């Protein structure tokens, strides 16, 4: 059964170029170690006229921030665990020059979780 790691975060607009650069590196790493698909998506139509909470409200996004929705697709949860372990051991992830790198988003305003796929894929 396929498995997905999902993320929602807000990125200051001025940090989007740095985030995109980081995301492209992430895509290469996760796919190098076997992720099936890797997506980074910038919010576009986030105020639909349907009942419920919107992403901007949920994330407390402010003017000048972009809501980002990301997800990585794996064969299974076990496959996700294997791929993530390999990614975390990659020399790029452990390069001392990246040790004190500032993230282009507020980690305290990021949501993350693993999801079992029950329709699709």
> Could you please report the per-residue DSSP string of 45-106?
S---SSSS--HHHHHT--TTEEEEEEEEEESSHHHHHHHHHHHHHSTTTT-GGGTTPPPSS-
Statement: residue 101 has pLDDT above 90? no
Residue 97: its pLDDT value, please? 79
Mean pLDDT of the residues in the chain: 94
Q: Which residue has the tokens 């001025």?
A: 14
Region 69-81: mean pLDDT is 98
In CATH terms, the fold of domain 3-43+53-90+106-116 is Alpha-Beta Plaits (3.30.70)
Residue 102: its pLDDT value, please? 83
47-51, 76-80, 88-92: segment of lowest average pLDDT: 47-51
Q: Return the domain boundaries, the chain.
A: 3-43+53-90+106-116
CA distances from 14 to 8, 72, 108 (A): 18, 25, 18
pLDDT in tens, 5-64: 999 999 999 999 999 999 999 999 999 999 999 999 999 999 888 888 999 999 999 999
Statement: residue 92 has pLDDT above 80? yes
Reported as half-sphere exposure (CB side, CA atoms, 13 A), residue 40 has a value of 17
Q: Quick one: tokens of 61?
A: 């996004």
């Amino acid at each position: 059964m396929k498995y997905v790691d999902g993320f929602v975060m807000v990125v200051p607009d001025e940090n989007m170029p740095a985030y995109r650069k980081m995301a492209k590196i992430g895509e290469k790493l996760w796919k190098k170690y076997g992720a099936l698909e890797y997506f980074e998506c910038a919010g576009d139509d986030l105020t639909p006229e349907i009942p419920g909470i919107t992403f901007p409200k949920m994330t407390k996004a402010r003017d000048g921030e972009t809501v980002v929705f990301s997800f990585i697709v794996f064969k299974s949860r076990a496959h996700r665990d294997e791929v993530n372990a390999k990614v975390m051991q990659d020399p790029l992830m452990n390069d001392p020059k990246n040790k004190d790198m500032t993230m282009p988003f507020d980690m305290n305003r990021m949501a993350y979780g693993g999801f079992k796929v029950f329709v699709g894929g």
